Amino acid sequence: MRKKKVFLIFGTRPEAIKMYPVYKELKKYKEINTKIVITSQHQEMLKQVLDIFDMKADYDLNVMEDRQTLTKITMKVLDGLKKIFDKEKPDLVLVHGDTTTTFSAALAAFYEKIPIGHIEAGLRTHNKFFPFPEEINRTLTDTLADLHFAPTNSARKNLLKEGTSEESIFVTGNTIVDVIQEILNLKTDTTPSIVKNDEKFIIVTAHRRENWGKPMQNICEAIDFVSKKHKIQFIFSVHKNPLVRKTVKNILGKNKYIKLMEPMSYTDFIPLVAKSLFILTDSGGIQEEAPSLHKPVLLLRNVTERPEAANSGIVKIIGTEKENIIKNIENLLSDKEIYNKMSHVKNPFGDGKSGKRIATIVKNFLTEENTYGIL
């Protein structure tokens, strides 16, 4: 009997991290041939994760180029996957999240009538430009998908409201919880070498398209002000995007209280976050990571597709106005009641067994009688 062929397709570091638990579990099934296709939408940062988790790419589309456009990424992914699909004829394609790689890969699979599984399905802000282009990427991917792996009941409800078949939706938890548990279990010394044992510091990450320009300037000026006023250390993991780097270095480059870091390996970053006071970010993924680490998050956005984090209390949406950023940072620094209330919440994103749940569903879909209504 021919092994069933599953392709995991991704292009960025966050996708690779969250795909790892699924890959790890699928590899345990002898009846499934699991292959990885990377687009290298983010090249250096993606390869770093593959090395850490010992994930070998079977194909690399290598779409990365300087100042690449969304249109060009989409075209390259569609063209590259067409050739691979013609050769390999996979039985199922798995994509993750909301990147341009995610949507393009789902569209390429749809054109070849290959079933699609969407991991982290159902996230919504209900505003197509916030975040851009992620909101439309994930919405269209869900429209194309045959199996929807929703991380939470809230995501499931979003899918049902849009008319998604209830039989195709599986609430699995978020695979990031699996990854963080594994990393923290492996690390015997979680004191990051770049900080002293007793040093207090705040983590910063910011990179989203909607924050380029004036919003990024506001973020940096707020950090500059608070760091000098309170003599508090900020560790800023600076994204590779040249527009982000220019703004950050121009405003914060000479501030002695700011450590500007190149993007760290994930196994170094998570223990660093675990030692921090709290996190200032516009990231989607960090909202999911914070509950496992009991770290408050001040979210530099006006909306979130992860309302579970905000509803639990560990994430506060503060936008990108300079004075509001300053006020919220100072509140967390000075008010223990606010800090304790935000940091001690139940994790809304699962129990660390999401990868196993997804792999089991995939195995059943491929090897048992098809009850999902997919040809």
- 38 to 67, 265, 366, 375: CA distances (angstroms): 19, 18, 23, 27
State the Cα torsion 133-134-137-142 to the nearest 10°.
-160
3-state secondary structure the chain: CCCEEEEEEECCHHHHHHHHHHHHHHCCCCCEEEEEEECCCCHHHHHHHHHHCCCCCCEECCCCCCCCCHHHHHHHHHHHHHHHHHHHCCCEEEEECCCHHHHHHHHHHHHCCCCEEEECCCCCCCCCCCCCCHHHHHHHHHHHCCEEEECCHHHHHHHHHCCCCHHHEEECCCHHHHHHHHHHHHCCCCCCCCCCCCCCEEEEECCCHHHCCHHHHHHHHHHHHHHHHHCCEEEEECCCCHHHHHHHHHHHCCCCCEEEECCCCHHHHHHHHHHCCCEEECCCHHHHHHHHHCCCEEECCCCCCCHHHHHHCCEEECCCCHHHHHHHHHHHHHCHHHHHHHHCCCCCCCCCCHHHHHHHHHHHHHHCCCCCCCC
What is the set of active-site residues?
98, 120, 134, 207, 209, 239
The distance from CA 247 to its chain's CA centroid, rounded to whole angstroms, is 23
For residue 68, give the nearest of 39, 37, 98, 108 by alpha carbon: 39
